[in-house]
Structure formats: structure tokens, C-alpha cells
Structure 1
Amino acid sequence: MKTVVRSVTAEVLTDARSVESEWAELAERIGGRFSARPTYALRELGDSRGSTRIVVARRGGSLVGVIPLAVRRLGAFDLARLAGSGRGIPQQFLCEDEHVAEALWETVARRGWVFYASSLAERDPGFGVLERDPGFVTNSTTVETAPCISVPRGVTAKDLRSRRTRKRLRQYRNSLAAAGAPLSYETISGIDHFDRRWSDMARVAEASTSLHRRLNYLAAPDGSFAHDFLRDETAAGRAVVVGLVVDGRWCAHEIALRSGNRLEAWLGHYDPGFSRWQPGHQLSEWFVDNHDLLDVTELDQGIGVNAIKSAWSNSSTNLNRVVAVPSRYRAPGLVTDAVIAWEGSTAIRRLRRLGGTLLA
């Protein structure tokens, strides 16, 4: 059944192949976050054993909105998780304007689905429409922050950091050069280059995450997902992978994705043996100084706050955990509590990570 709102028609698809190219074009046109692109969303939802549901909206025949969901039965209701939930990334659904968002949400409400997103970007289009929609009882809580660096054209590191800080970073580079182990920046350019450096990226990621006891998304069970996604994004010219190379050895990297005028940091790692030369700050300085060349005006540093991000950021985006229960439910508060308990369960998170085909 199709929903029509102010000349916008919305429906639910179980197979996205018929709209995949239009979806990619829509994401490119409105600068959608990488989690909302088909290269990411369909690959992630592909583990959900047929529960993939794509809510799409059209106006005058053109695709103008997409919400990619994984739908599964949870007790007495159907839970619809936005692509990227639980993955530690800012989330977004695509819509050209509020009328499109209204049609998309009305379609979800008519299905009776309970919507969940773990980290929906607050200032992205459509967020406010959901909060105001009378078809839902919405619980929205800020759970994370994504620090950002606003970099209008012409801005460089000297506009954001002190002379002392920049001098210190330069001295580290000079000391390495004097020792016969010069530091250089290497930007991945093309599929062949990506393939040559993948093993180096995986090696540094393993060393970095082992030291800090963090999840390694470049290793099993996520390694093939990350490899294939980044390879596709590299082929499309949207991946920006910058490595720090010392005396010919790959020692650190930052992996980012273009989203319109925004560059979204996804994963960053460094070899612990290189930590004294402050690789995080070295890379941050490089991105700020080269943002004009990259043709971006915002460097989104990804979920979470740390000392390096705090030192460079000059703005931020709130990321909200959102549970939206259709108004027709008699006890929306109980449903919301059940969803939060389910999604917050450590056991469920581990099972989903290790065997995603069983838990959408």
C-alpha cells in the first residue's frame, strides 16, 4: 500500500536493486552521511535474513527519500532498526524536505513498526519531523556527541591552533627527518593503491586496538565488511584514507568518507611505537591544512570525545538514541523500555556482532 502526502508517494520495498542507483544519486545530491548510502546500508542490512525493508518516497517520479531498515519481530511488536544502529557511527535517513519526511514516517506508522536508531544526527533533515509527528510517541535522548571542525575556505591550522602547538608538531617531523626516518603523508588514490596498502592498514589497526582494547573493525567478524565497503567508496572517489609513513613504514592512518561538503572520520589507528610523535594531531593538522584541496568545509570527527578531538574541534553534533512507537499502541512507554533494554543488552550486542544473521 502506498502513502500519499502533499504529492509525495511513499511505499515499502523488500528488494532495493530497483532503486539502488537512484538512491546513490539522492545521497550524493543532498550530501547524505555515509551510513545512509546504499554502499553501506545494503551491505549492513544484508546480514538480516530477509528482514530488510526500504521505505522510499517519490515526487513526480523522482526518488526524494529513503529510510533503510532491518525489521524483526520482538515479542508483541515489529522493531525497525535504522541502518547503522549499534555500529558507532552518526546515522541519517535521506529526505529532500519535511513533506518527504512526513510521508516516510506515515508509512512506517501505518505498518505499526517501532522505529529505533542508536545515534541519529540531531541536526540532519527529518529529525524534527519525527519528534513532532502525532503518529508516534517518540523518546529521544542525546547519548553521544560528534565533535566537528568547521573549516571555511582559506582556514588553516594556524587559525585554529597556537604557534606553540604547530611548532611542536613540526619539531617532531624535523627530528624524524634528522634521524634519517622522514615522516610523509600518503593519500590512497584508486583501487590498486588501496589493495596494496590494505594489509598495512589491517596491521596498524590490530596493534592500535589491541593496546586500547577497542573493537577492530578491520578484522573478523567485520573485516570483510569494512574492506568491501571502503573498496567501493574508493572506486567512487568518496573514501579519503591518509596514512603517516615513517621511513617507508605505514605507522598510522585516518579513514574518512566524503558526504557533500562534509568529510566524516570513520576509523583512525596508529602503531603504539609511533605514539610519541603524536600521530592523531599530525593527521588532524594535515586534514585542516588540506580541506580546500579536498573541497570540504566541515571535518566531522566521528562519535565520541577525546583529547585530540577536543583540541581541534570548534563545533559538534548531538547524536540521539531514538525510539518511536506508533501512537496506536496502548502502552508506548512499556514498548520503549523494552526496546531500550533489548538494544542495551551486552549479550545481544555480542551475539549481533558475532552472528548478525540471527539478530537483525
Structure 2
Amino acid sequence: MRTVNFEIHDEASATRLSEEWDDLAQELGQRVATRPSYALAWNRMGRGRAAVCTVRRGGRLVGLAPLHARTRMGVTALRLPAHGLATIGTFLATDEAALADLLDGIAERNMAMQLDHVDLADPLLKMLHASPRWSVEVAGTEQCLTIDLAVGAGAESLRGRRTLKTLSRLERSLERAGTPASVEVVCEPEHLARRWPDITAVAAAADENSGRDNFCAPPFTSFTRPLFEAEARAGRLLVVGLLVGGRWSAHEIMFRTGTTAEMWMGRFHPEVRRHQPGQLLHRHLTDRHGELGIDRFDYLLGTSEFKSQWANGGYEVGRIVAVPTSGPHLRWALRIADLGADLVRPLRLAARDAFTSNRS
């Protein structure tokens, strides 16, 4: 007979199991959004209450759902960390039985789940559909593009000769102007600390008046800075910066999972736009992927003309709304809560902007 223990952890309890949690994520080769470095940093921003679900078998951690509980309009649902913010999430499970035990434990507590940005090929989705304890709705939301590279392949396998010649001419013109382009790779915590002011300066210039949230400025730095530092200590941070004339001018911030690099945030200073910094960085990444130990670059959410020019693969993600069959009323409660939150959000954002303006 299996001895299985299911438990839901608050932030303090989840923090205590972070080493064991990280080992499980490493063992399974799962994404950054499944790791304690990501989930715990997000929870500390106050965006929901930690509700990390675990399954132990004979005392060993075999399953973990990195969730938090979010209440809107009086209705509570379990969500993945950083719900809706660029990364792809899932549950950690050593086998199908562990995944089933996680889902059964949540269902027994009559808790609904709203899971954004889950790979539609994820075993989690198949298990939810197969379980009689869950009623599931799935909507495909976005395409995610990838660059998959064989040993010895590089930019020439992805882009045409004309494009590569143009990039070479750009580099020669920068050299002649006395502002040569070079690339710097940041992986270590000390190196990250030295380059942090440059990273934040480029992010601020890139995001100003863009309508985007600057994740390298408050309040988001309480999430991103600890995340970057923890991933650097674990040897999984990969920041590649483009220097023009010795000045940090653009960067790609990535997280390693095995031989995959999740491309979480790319930014460039508007002053170097004419030098096509993104194209130059991508040529470096693809030409030197072997040195970096990477054979797949995952763009994560969204498509664009730029991404499509480089990508040669991809997958689809979706939103899962899962309600225990023992509580069908929860689906209608969630819909009403979502509608109410959508109506309130513009007023809340306007109030936040007015408060920020008054303080400046």
C-alpha cells in the first residue's frame, strides 16, 4: 500500500522546503517558473498567498504544484506564479501517480484552478481531462516560437546570405567609427552585480513611454533581482549583452534548463536602434550556441516579425480553468469574479497612476 501525504504550504513552509523543491525541478529538467527562485520571489511581492501543494511518497517529495491563492471579488482560485506574465508554467511530478495525487489532493479541498500559459502538450492537461474529479475548460491563447539548433549549425541555417552580409557590414561600420560591437556573457552573481546598473539603465530607456512594465525597476525589482541572483548562484542565469564602443547597449536575459535557454526579456537602448542590436545578438547566440551549452532558444510567449525571422519551431499555450466536479458552482463564481475584476481594473490602474504622479 502506498503511503502518500498531500499538503498545502504557506510562504514560510514553502521556503523551508526550497532546497528539496529545487532539487526536484532540477531532476525533472523543468522550466524556471517551476522553481522556488521564481515562485517564492513572486509571492513576496504580495500578489496572492502562497499555496504550494506537495505530495510525498514514503517521505520523499515526488510532486509539487507551485501555486498561490488569489482572491478577486470574494472568489478564490489557485494560480501559477506570475500569472499571465510571459513564462510557461506547470506542475512537478516524478510520474503519473504523483501528478494524479496532486490533482486529487486539490480536488478534495474543493479548490478551483486558473492556470495561464500552460503548454497544450503538457501531461498536466491530459491528466485533468482524464480525471473524473475535474471539469476542465481550455482555451488556446498564444503561440510560442523556438530556435532549435543541431551541433555545428548556426545563423547561416536560419537566415539568408543577404541578412548575414548586412550584419557584417554593420559591424565593420561600427569598427571604422571607433565604436566596435562586442558581446559579454554574464552568468556569475558577482558579474551580475557589476552589470546590474547597466542592465537597469538600458531597461529604463527601452521601456520609457512604451506602455510596458519595467521589470528592472520598482516594484518589480523585488521579484526580478532575487530571481536573477538565485538563478546565478545555481549556474542557470544567462545574460548576453551587446556592447557598442564598450558601452552596454542591449541584452537578452535568459534562464537555462538543461540545454534550453528561456528568453525571458530582451531590451536595447533606443540610441542603438539603427545598429540592429537584436539581430547582432541573435547572430552571436546562434553561432556560439555550442559554447554556451544551448541547443534550443525558447522565445516564450508571443510572436512577432523579428521572432519569426529567426525561429524554426514552436508550440501552443493556453489557459486552463479547472473546477472540481464536487463544486460546479465555482465555475460561475469565477466568471463573475473575472467580469467584475475586468470592470474594476481600469479604475484601479488610473488610481495607481495618479498616486505615482502625485509622489513624483
Q: TM-score, normalised by structure 2?
A: 0.90
Q: State how far apart, in whole Å, the 2-side matches of 1:93 and 1:240 are.
A: 24
Q: State how far apart, in whole Å, the 2-side matches of 1:124 and 1:306 are.
A: 24
Q: 1:227-306 residue pairs with structure 2 within 5 A?
A: 227-306=225-304
Structure 1 unpaired stretches of 5+: 356-360
Q: State how far apart, in whole Å, the 2-side matches of 1:340 and 1:49 are.
A: 16
Q: State how far apart, in whole Å, the 2-side matches of 1:25 and 1:254 are.
A: 26
For residue 280 of structure 1, report the CA deviation from its aligned partner.
Answer: 1.2
2:84 pairs with 1:86: yes
Q: TM-score, normalised by structure 1?
A: 0.90
Q: State how far apart, in whole Å, the 1-side matches of 2:150 and 2:3 are.
A: 37
For residue 139 of structure 1, report the CA deviation from its aligned partner.
Answer: 1.2
The one of 113, 116, 125 aligned to 1:115: 113
Q: 1:207-246 residue pairs with structure 2 within 5 A?
A: 207-246=205-244
Judged with a 3 Å threshold, the aligned counterparts in structure 2 of structure 1 residues 192 and 62 are, in CA distance, closer, same or farther, namely same
AA in 1 matched with 2:177: A
Q: State how far apart, in whole Å, the 2-side matches of 1:110 and 1:31 are.
A: 29
Q: State how far apart, in whole Å, the 1-side matches of 2:87 and 2:177 are.
A: 39
Indicate the larger mover: 124-133 or 137-146: 124-133
Q: State how far apart, in whole Å, the 1-side matches of 2:125 and 2:91 are.
A: 9
What's the counterpart of residue 320 of structure 1? 318
Q: Render the CA deviation track for 1:248-305: whole Å, top value 9, x for unaligned.
A: 1111000000012211011110011111111111112222122222222211012111
AA in 2 matched with 1:326: P
What's the counterpart of residue 100 of structure 1? 98
Q: State how far apart, in whole Å, the 2-side matches of 1:45 and 1:204 are.
A: 26
AA in 2 matched with 1:151: L
| Residues 38 and 227, structure 2, Cα contact 8 Å, conserved in 1 | yes
What secondary structure sits across from 2:208 in the alignment? helix
Kindly report the root-mean-square deviation, in angstroms, between the aligned alpha carbons of the 2 structures.
2.5
What secondary structure sits across from 1:301 in the alignment? strand
Q: 1:15-30 residue pairs with structure 2 within 5 A?
A: 15-30=13-28
For residue 9 of structure 1, report the CA deviation from its aligned partner.
Answer: 4.0
For residue 11 of structure 1, report the CA deviation from its aligned partner.
Answer: 2.4
The one of 135, 138, 151 aligned to 2:133: 135
For residue 124 of structure 1, report the CA deviation from its aligned partner.
Answer: 3.2
What's the counterpart of residue 190 of structure 1? 188
What's the counterpart of residue 358 of structure 2? none
Q: Render the CA deviation track for 1:136-181: whole Å, top value 9, x for unaligned.
A: 1111111122211111322211111111111111111111011111
| Residues 71 and 79, structure 1, Cα contact 8 Å, conserved in 2 | yes
| Residues 54 and 102, structure 2, Cα contact 8 Å, conserved in 1 | yes
What's the counterpart of residue 10 of structure 1? 6
Judged with a 3 Å threshold, the aligned counterparts in structure 2 of structure 1 residues 343 and 265 are, in CA distance, closer, same or farther, namely farther
- Count of residue pairs brought into register by the alignment: 351
Q: State how far apart, in whole Å, the 2-side matches of 1:88 and 1:249 are.
A: 28
Q: State how far apart, in whole Å, the 1-side matches of 2:60 and 2:182 are.
A: 46
Structure 2 unpaired stretches of 5+: 356-360
Judged with a 3 Å threshold, the aligned counterparts in structure 2 of structure 1 residues 308 and 65 are, in CA distance, closer, same or farther, namely same
Q: State how far apart, in whole Å, the 1-side matches of 2:32 and 2:341 are.
A: 22
Q: State how far apart, in whole Å, the 2-side matches of 1:213 and 1:49 are.
A: 21
Q: State how far apart, in whole Å, the 2-side matches of 1:237 and 1:166 are.
A: 32
Q: Render the CA deviation track for 1:217-272: whole Å, top value 9, x for unaligned.
A: 11111023211211121121101001100111111000000012211011110011
